[in-house]
Every structure is written in C-alpha cells, then in structure tokens.
Amino acid sequence: MEEKILLSHGSGGKQTNNLISDLFIRYFDNEIISEMNDSAQLMLSSNKIAFTTDSFVVNPIFFKGGDIGKLAVYGTVNDLAVSGAKPLYLSSAFIIEEGFSIEKLESIVKSMATAAKEAGVKIVAGDTKVVEKGGVDGVFINTSGIGTIYENTHIKVDNAKVDDVVIVNGTLGDHGAVIMCERNGIGIDGELLSDCAALNSLVDSILEVCPHIHVLRDATRGGVAAVLNEIADSSGVSIELEESSIPVREEVKGVCELLGLDPLYIANEGKICCFVPREYAEQVITQMKKHPLGSEAAIIGKVVESEAHKVYLKTIIGGKRIVDMPSGIQLPRIC
C-alpha cells in the first residue's frame, strides 16, 4: 500500500519528528538544520544582507525539466542573485494535503536537495503543516532566502539609465509554455523543457566583467513584459525592444500561436533581464555566452529617453507597439 501523509504528520508530535528526521534532515543534510532548534543559527561573512521570500503553488507539481521543489529552490536563489547578493541559506516550509503520497514528497525533497547543492546554498530551517483533504491542492512550498550583498554593486530596479542595453541570457517563455502544454494536454515535437535553473553563477560571471550592471531581474510571473514595465516605471525611462532580436524557440512560438499567448508575457524560471551601460554590452554578452545558461544570450533592446515610461516593441514588419504591463488573468499557478 502506498504510504500517505496523515494529519498526524503535521501535529508537532512523534510523526512530525519522524517525517522531519527521515525526510527533510536526511536529504537537506547539513550541520545547521540537524540541530533542530527553533531557529537556524548562522554566522555570516558580512552584515549587509539580502532577504527574500516566495511561495510556490505550481500545477502540475512535476513537469518537463523540473518540479515544484527545484522551482522553489531556484526561484529564491535567483531573487537573491539578481539583487547582487551571494545566496547562502534557504528555509523551506511545506503545506501538504492529507493523503499526499510520501513517495512523491520524497522525490520533491530530493530534488530540492540536489538543486540546493547545485546552487551552493544550504537549506537550514523548515516547517511542515498538514491540512485536511481538500484544504490545499497537493503541496505548496515556501522558500525564504538570505544572501550577503556584494560590495561595489548598485543593482536596483530604479537604476536603469538612458542608453543602457537590455540583455537576456536566452530564449523566452520556455517554462510557461511547458506548464501550459502539460495542463492542456498538448503534445509538442522536440524536447521543450522548463528553463528552471539557478542563475547565481551566471550573475557572478557577468559581475566579474561588469560590476556596473544597473538593473537585474529574473523574468518570472508576467514574463519579460511585466519586469520591463516595472523597471521603466521605477526608473522613469522607456524601453525599446527589437522583435527580431528576441530569442524564442520554435516550439514556444507554436504553443503561443495555439493558445493565443505572447512569449513576452510568459513566465521564465531561468532568464534574467540585464541592463548594462552600452560600453559594457559586448563584454557581458561574450561572458554570458561562455556560460551554459547564457549560450543563447542576446541584446533585445535599449533604454530611451521618454516622458511616457513605457515599453515599446519595434516589430519585424517595421511597426512599433506598446508592450503594456500584463493585466487580467495570465497563467495562474505557473510557479
């Protein structure tokens, strides 16, 4: 018989402790979480830190190229990395539906452990709640994260400057397209995978050649469109994109046509928008391309002066249209 999560696994008693020891501590395996204190005790190398949180409710839990656990680790690692911080420590808090398969839970925890190792972070604090059947759909995970901020970087959402070049590290829309396909039962030719990845080593490598990066953002929910609109708005500038330069996989284009979606609005889980002074653009692109997560890096646009604080797209056929902030229901439970 398949082992399942029971309400008692969340009661704070014997079964909770067993689940914590046999699963979480076993896989996350580090000296800090093993102490099982109410808080993780950490000694940082600096007292200038970045702190972030994200909950993950993706549906389906397992998808091509990843799962909710991987996403939960990478998502928080990336939020730290794009803040110019070195990701160090993560917490992980599970809300699990009564009756959820322990085998599936184990596979998620294992995946988190692998992702954390790969990203060079430790999962040091946790929490487990179990909710009665129907009170939550499967499993939701929150990760919060801490990193130390690099000296001499000034990466901020309101720091985009006129003439900055906008660079992305690869094709757009892969994650969202995969989730949409799985949810709608769409089979596609080729091996389209979620792009979910830890971006901290890529960020490190570009900061090496260009500490003067003005803005970095990972383009998750709402896609590149949401991120660029936020940057334009906060920085008081406009952004002009070249449609012909935007890298999008053929498979993703196909899915978008089928579902009536725009790749600019689709979630990515391993893509950054990077604003750099024009004179560093070449160096940053070259450096990105050396990295496995940047081989398809491209300059997709530039920052221009304008009162409007808008994002424009110069289309392939020579037109120009506004790329507005996404509005209404996009793709629920994409991450």
Using CB under 8 A as the binding rule, the residues of this chain from 205 to 264 that contact a copy of itself are 217-218, 220-222, 226, 230, 234
Per CB under 8 A, the segment of 90-98, 160-168, 180-188, 303-311 that binds a copy of itself is 90-98
Between 9 and 251, whose beta carbon lies closer to a copy of itself? 9
Size of the site for a copy of itself (CB under 8 A): 85
Strands 139-149 and 238-242: unpaired
Classify 36 in phi/psi space as left (phi over 0), alpha (psi -120 to 50) or beta.
left
Using CB under 8 A as the criterion, what x/- string covers residues 115-134 for binding a copy of itself? ---------xxxx-xxxx-x
Q: Which of 146, 168, 177, 178 binds a copy of itself (CB under 8 A)?
A: 146
252 burial type by CB count under 10 A (0-12 exposed, 13-18 middle, 19+ buried) = buried
Using CB under 8 A as the binding rule, the residues of this chain from 175 to 204 that contact a copy of itself are none
Q: How far is the CB of 154 from a copy of itself (least distance, A)?
A: 11
Using CB under 8 A as the criterion, what x/- string covers residues 46-85 for binding a copy of itself? xxxxxxxxxxxx-x-------------------xx-xx-x
| Residue 282 binds a copy of itself, judged by CB under 8 A | no
Between 76 and 171, whose beta carbon lies closer to a copy of itself? 76
Element (H, E) at 146: strand 139-149
Query: Which one-letter DSSP state was computed for residue 285?
Result: H
Distance CA 218, CA 88 (A): 18
| Residue 139 binds a copy of itself, judged by CB under 8 A | no
| Residue 40 binds a copy of itself, judged by CB under 8 A | yes
Using CB under 8 A as the binding rule, the residues of this chain from 303 to 322 that contact a copy of itself are none
Any residues with CB less than 8 A from the CB of 303 and at least 6 apart, and which?
Answer: 160, 161, 162, 163, 164, 165, 166, 235, 237, 238, 239, 240, 275
Between 46 and 286, whose beta carbon lies closer to a copy of itself? 46
- Return the amino acid letter for 85: A
Angle between helices 250-259 and 174-184 (to 10 degrees): 50
Per CB under 8 A, the segment of 35-43, 160-168, 250-258, 287-295 that binds a copy of itself is 35-43
Indicate if the alpha-carbon torsion angle 116, 117, 119, 122 is positive or negative: positive
Between 95 and 105, whose beta carbon lies closer to a copy of itself? 95
Element (H, E) at 96: strand 85-97
Q: How many CB atoms lie within 10 A of CB 256?
A: 20
Between 278 and 333, whose beta carbon lies closer to a copy of itself? 333
Q: How many CB atoms lie within 10 A of CB 171?
A: 22
Distance CA 18, CA 77 (A): 28
Q: Which of 66, 263, 294, 326 binds a copy of itself (CB under 8 A)?
A: 326
Q: How far is the CB of 190 from a copy of itself (least distance, A)?
A: 27
Between 238 and 251, whose beta carbon lies closer to a copy of itself? 238
Q: How far is the CB of 109 from a copy of itself (least distance, A)?
A: 15
Between 135 and 282, whose beta carbon lies closer to a copy of itself? 135
Any residues with CB less than 8 A from the CB of 327 and at least 6 apart, and which?
Answer: none
Using CB under 8 A as the binding rule, the residues of this chain from 8 to 27 that contact a copy of itself are 8, 10-17
Contact 169, 272 (CB under 8 A): yes
